[in-house]
Amino acid sequence: MKIFSALWLAFGLFYLWGCDDSQKESSDLEGDSDTVETEESATEWLDPYANQPWRPRYHFTPSENWMNDPNGLVFYKGEYHLFYQYAPEGFVLSPLHWGHAVSTDLVHWEHLPVAIYPDDVLGNAYSGSAVVDRTNSSGLCLEDEGETSCLVALFTHSGGEDGLQKQSLAYSNDRGRTWEMYENNPVLGPDPRWADFRDPKVLWDDANSRWIMVLAAGNQLLFYESSNLLEWELASEFTRDSSDDGGAWECPELFEIPLENRENESRWLLEIDWTTSTGGIGSGGRYFVGDFTDGSFYSETSVKSVLRVDYGSDFYAAQSFFGLEDGRRIWLAWMNNWQYALSVSTKPWQGAMSLPRTIALRTDDKGLYRVVQNPVEQLRSLRGNPLIQLENLVVEGEYRLPETSYCTSCEIAVELQPDSASDCFLSVFVGGQEHTDIGYDAGNGTLYFDRRESGTVDFSPHFSRRQEVDYPLDNGTLRLNVFLDQSTVEVFAGDGETVLSFLVFPDSDSRGIVWQANGGACTVETMAIYPMESIWKIPAP
Ligand code: FRU
């Protein structure tokens, strides 16, 4: 590793509180009803996963074995449900089940038993969604305390005796704790025309009082309608062109969302995921913005201009929660990429979810639509007191932060002026030969992430990479919120209009944090590092 030398011209204001992650910032707790109670500090808490290398501390992971897509995200009777593609028998892709966890605050999760099992005849339980059937439109819900509603999941059965993909239904009358299979499954398909016919996303179309299902079918999306969730009629198709390079579309998402900067206007956002067949970035998501009427989606954005959901490599199969009562739209995604997911080796678990993100839609100054994503506010409850706070640090060459500010599960908030530097970057997980770089290339006006020397990278020829995105700076200041969590990094730029999410596998000793400027000096106007508390806490014995 290079010897880091610092040019420390301005002054730093240090709050050296040590590395005690358990202290909380009381000001951040105000007005947040979903936060952890402060009396907890009287108890000693342990993180059961603390000694597992690369295990994220404040991102959802299964307790053990393989996980991929989030499924069936739904809020019901005070609980957020997270189901997920789960292979409880190991690090293999099959047989696939729906794993299950619940949360009351979107931050702390409780692992629950497997919800949906594969079926010998119908096949593996692939991805899908869940809704609250509030009016018992399906006739499957039982009365409970004067209300007849239940959770209904629509998902793909894949393989089985006919080897095909078809959509099945399961329902729960005990707040998701146990699930029953609908007796006449499948409810849709199979259709021999499509080998890829999967990942139903179901939503409620308020304007027309009916259910809508969006399904990925080979090279297109199919939209279906239903009055009862059991019988589905094809309403329309939405076809891709060749702009996204190969692989089948997967895991569609569709919802209406207010347009932030135009009063009383809203649009429909259609999101899909795919894996390029020719290498490149591998798996990723893109979105279209438009209108959804009478069962058809009309895109205002060209199919040729690919609007990416996330400019990193590891944000796939995003799904939003059904049933949020306060109008927020929140999604999360699997932090991985099919190019190398099966080669990742983090034992005893494999697979992490992104932070849950609030989504907004706005138009930029060129009138182009931009999805804006930010971590849900409740995550602030995990912030400890800052390990360091700096102002007006002028970086020329290298500046290594003091050891007391090192962290591997933390939030780093930065405001940066590139000034005369052609390249100004923050290295995290620094140690030995390892470093993960998040930087601004002023010459090209790009924000970049470089994990080529981030640690273990050689498990796949596709993992080692540097990715960049155009990011013109209007007033010269770049604002970044970077969330590190052992093996995950999520970078939110500006107001959250550009996000880059990546996996990294550094050595556990690689904890350093270093600024570097090349070709001139840059100014770190402000920087604060907050340790993030683990969400996996059990009382000490
Ligand atoms: C996306 C996906 C889905 C499928 C699931 C299988 O990552 O390929 O299309 O339903 O994973 O686990």
The confidence score (pLDDT) of residue 351 equals: 97
Q: How far is the CA of 198 from the centre of ligand 1 (A)?
A: 8
Query: Which atom belonging to ligand 1 lies closest to the Cα atom of 156?
Result: 10
Distance CA 423, CA 468 (A): 13
Share of the chain above pLDDT 90, in %: 79
Q: How far is CA 235 from CA 209, 288, 471, in A?
A: 15, 19, 39
The confidence score (pLDDT) of residue 11 equals: 27
Q: How far is the CA of 428 from the centre of ligand 1 (A)?
A: 32
Residue 248 contacts residue 240 (beta carbons within 8 Å): no
Catalytic residue among 28, 32, 34, 69: 69
* Pairwise pLDDT comparison (16 vs 340), residue with the higher score: 340
| Percentage helix, strand, coil for the chain under 3-state DSSP, each rounded to 5 | 5, 50, 45
Q: How far is CA 343 from CA 62, 268, 340, 504, in A?
A: 17, 36, 5, 13
125 token code pair:
């339980």
Which band of pLDDT confidence, cut at 50, 70 and 90, is reported for residue 279?
Answer: low
> What are 158-209's pLDDT values in tens digits?
999 999 999 999 999 999 999 999 999 999 999 988 999 999 999 999 999 9
111 token code pair:
């692992």
Q: How far is the CA of 15 from the centre of ligand 1 (A)?
A: 46
The confidence score (pLDDT) of residue 244 equals: 61
Q: Is the pLDDT of residue 467 over 50?
A: yes
457 token code pair:
């990278």
Q: How far is the CA of 177 from the centre of ligand 1 (A)?
A: 23
Q: How far is CA 261 from CA 207, 265, 364, 370, in A?
A: 23, 9, 9, 11
Q: Which residues line ligand 1 (CB under 6 A)?
A: 68-69, 85, 96, 126-127, 156, 198-199, 250-251, 317
The confidence score (pLDDT) of residue 112 equals: 97
The confidence score (pLDDT) of residue 422 equals: 96
147 HSE (CA, 13 A, CB side):
12
Mean pLDDT, rounded, of the chain: 90
Average pLDDT over residues 300-329: 91
Q: What residue's CA is closest to ligand 1, atom 6?
A: 126
Coil, helix or strand at residue 187: coil
The confidence score (pLDDT) of residue 192 equals: 87
Give the range among 19-33, 178-192, 297-311, 362-376 with minimum mean pLDDT: 19-33
The confidence score (pLDDT) of residue 378 equals: 96
Which residues does 439 contact at the CB level (< 8 Å), separation at least 6?
423, 424, 425, 426, 447, 448, 450
Burial of 200 (0-12, 13-18, 19+ CB in 10 A): buried
- Alpha helix stretches (DSSP H) within 283-405: none
User: pTM, whole model, 2 decimals?
Assistant: 0.91
> What are 84-123's pLDDT values in tens digits?
999 998 777 789 999 999 999 999 999 999 999 999 999 9
The confidence score (pLDDT) of residue 365 equals: 82
76 HSE (CA, 13 A, CB side):
24
Query: Which atom belonging to ligand 1 lies closest to the Cα atom of 250?
Result: 9
The confidence score (pLDDT) of residue 243 equals: 58
Distance CA 74, CA 153 (A): 10
Which residues does 205 contact at the CB level (< 8 Å), separation at least 6?
211, 212, 225, 292
Cβ atoms within 10 Å of 486's Cβ, excluding its own: 24
**Do strands 283-293 and 349-350 pair parallel, antiparallel, or not at all (unpaired)?**
unpaired
> What are 325-348's pLDDT values in tens digits?
888 999 999 999 999 999 999 999
DSSP 13-25: E----TT-TT---
Q: How far is the CA of 522 from the centre of ligand 1 (A)?
A: 43
Q: Is the pLDDT of residue 513 over 50?
A: yes
Which band of pLDDT confidence, cut at 50, 70 and 90, is reported for residue 25?
Answer: very low
Q: Which residues pair with 498 in a beta bridge?
A: 493
Q: CA 506, 512, 513: angle at the middle one, nearest 5?
A: 110
Task: Ligand 1 pocket test: pick from 199, 276, 342 the residue with the most ligand atoms within 8 Å of its Cβ.
Answer: 199
**Do strands 266-275 and 250-258 pair parallel, antiparallel, or not at all (unpaired)?**
antiparallel
The confidence score (pLDDT) of residue 12 equals: 29
SS3 track for 309-328: CCCCCCCEEEEECECCCCCC
Distance CA 157, CA 127 (A): 9
Average pLDDT over residues 409-436: 97
Query: Which atom belonging to ligand 1 lies closest to the Cα atom of 196?
Result: 9
Nearest to 471 by CA among 491, 448, 490: 448
Q: Is the pLDDT of residue 8 over 70?
A: no
Which band of pLDDT confidence, cut at 50, 70 and 90, is reported for residue 41?
Answer: low
Q: Among this protein's residues, is 437 annotated catalytic?
A: no
Nearest to 58 by CA among 21, 95, 30, 90: 21
Q: What residue's CA is closest to ligand 1, atom 9?
A: 250
Q: How far is the CA of 99 from the centre of ligand 1 (A)?
A: 14
Task: Ligand 1 pocket test: pick from 86, 91, 198 the residue with the most ligand atoms within 8 Å of its Cβ.
Answer: 198
Query: Which atom belonging to ligand 1 lies closest to the Cα atom of 69?
Result: 7
The confidence score (pLDDT) of residue 325 equals: 83
Distance CA 28, CA 380 (A): 6
Q: Is the pLDDT of residue 308 over 80?
A: yes
Residue 471 contacts residue 446 (beta carbons within 8 Å): yes
> What are 364-416's pLDDT values in tens digits?
888 889 999 999 999 999 999 999 999 999 999 999 999 999 999 999 999 99
* Pairwise pLDDT comparison (345 vs 24), residue with the higher score: 345
Coil, helix or strand at residue 205: strand
The b-or-e profile of 368-398 (16+ CB within 10 A means b, else e) is ebbbbbbbbebbbbbbbbbbbbbeebbbbeb
Sign of the dihedral defined by the CA atoms of residues 177, 348, 108, 506, in that order:
negative
Task: Ligand 1 pocket test: pick from 66, 126, 335 the residue with the most ligand atoms within 8 Å of its Cβ.
Answer: 126
Distance CA 98, CA 114 (A): 6
Nearest to 169 by CA among 216, 115, 130, 205: 130
Cis ω for the linkage preceding 118 (within 30 of 0): no
Q: How far is CA 459 from CA 339, 346, 510, in A?
A: 11, 12, 19
Residue 237 contacts residue 246 (beta carbons within 8 Å): no
Query: Which atom belonging to ligand 1 lies closest to the Cα atom of 127?
Result: 10
The confidence score (pLDDT) of residue 16 equals: 26
162 token code pair:
């006919």
Q: Is the pLDDT of residue 519 over 80?
A: yes
Which band of pLDDT confidence, cut at 50, 70 and 90, is reported for residue 539?
Answer: confident
Residue 225 contacts residue 210 (beta carbons within 8 Å): yes
